[in-house]
Amino acid sequence: MRLTNGDTTIKLDSAVVREVAEILPERQTLTAFVREAVQRDVRRRKMSAAAEVYREILANDPLEAAAMDEWERAPLAMEPRKRRPQK
């Protein structure tokens, strides 16, 4: 399916509209809700694809894999050391 710039109307079954109406925040329109839901899904799919590409990079690049191992061992949960005041 190819979308064009004129593709702006989306039809929803009345059952779907009723379900969305039950959870729709009072100050949000159905259009805004659907727009945000679609944007979230697109973002999720892009992030998933990027993660897959990075997994392939890790599998094929020993230097990148070593860097990731080092990053994962980093004590990120520890509070950073305090700096001494400069003179």
DSSP state letters, 43-79 = HHHHHHHHHHHHHHHHHH-HHHHHHHHHHHHS-TTSP
Query: pTM to 2 decimals?
Result: 0.67
Least-confidence region, from 2-6, 43-47, 57-61, 73-77:
2-6
Residues 42-52: pLDDT tens digits? 999 999 999 99
The letter for the amino acid at 73 is R
Helix %, strand %, coil % of the chain (to 5): 60, 0, 40
- Give the pLDDT confidence score for residue 1 in this predicted structure: 65
Q: Where are the domains of the chain?
A: 26-73
Under 8 Å between Cβ of 72 and 65: no
Q: Interior CA angle at 76 toward 71 and 82, to 5°?
A: 125
**Average pLDDT across the chain, whole number:** 89
